[in-house]
């Protein structure tokens, strides 16, 4: 699970850089303090959620997610068959 979170870092970073470039080239004024603060807050909350999720996975394992996916798959199969 930890490796999959690390795989998302380049994509999220690239999306943030792209949005920053779009924001910088926009015609209107940019509140860079609010923009930077929102990035810092999103980073901090993401780290907290990842830590909680990894702790949850260590305690319970992946079985709840496996059951959820099987039930969802069966439900969608029944609807669209």
Q: Which residue has the higher pLDDT, 24 or 70?
A: 70
**pTM check: above 0.85:** no
Structure-token pair, residue 17 = 């850089």
Domains in the chain, number: 1
Q: Which residues constitute the domain of residue 27?
A: 2-80
| Mean of the per-residue pLDDT values of the chain | 89
DSSP annotation of 26 reads S
Distance of CA 17 to the CA centre of its chain: 16
């Amino acid at each position: 699970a930890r490796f999959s979170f690390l795989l998302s870092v380049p994509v999220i970073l690239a999306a943030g850089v792209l949005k920053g470039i779009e924001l910088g080239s926009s015609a209107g004024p940019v509140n860079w303090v609010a923009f930077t603060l929102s990035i810092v807050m999103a980073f901090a909350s993401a780290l907290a959620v990842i830590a909680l999720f990894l702790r949850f996975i260590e305690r319970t394992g992946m079985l709840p997610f496996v059951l959820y996916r099987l039930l969802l798959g069966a439900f969608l199969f029944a609807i669209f068959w």
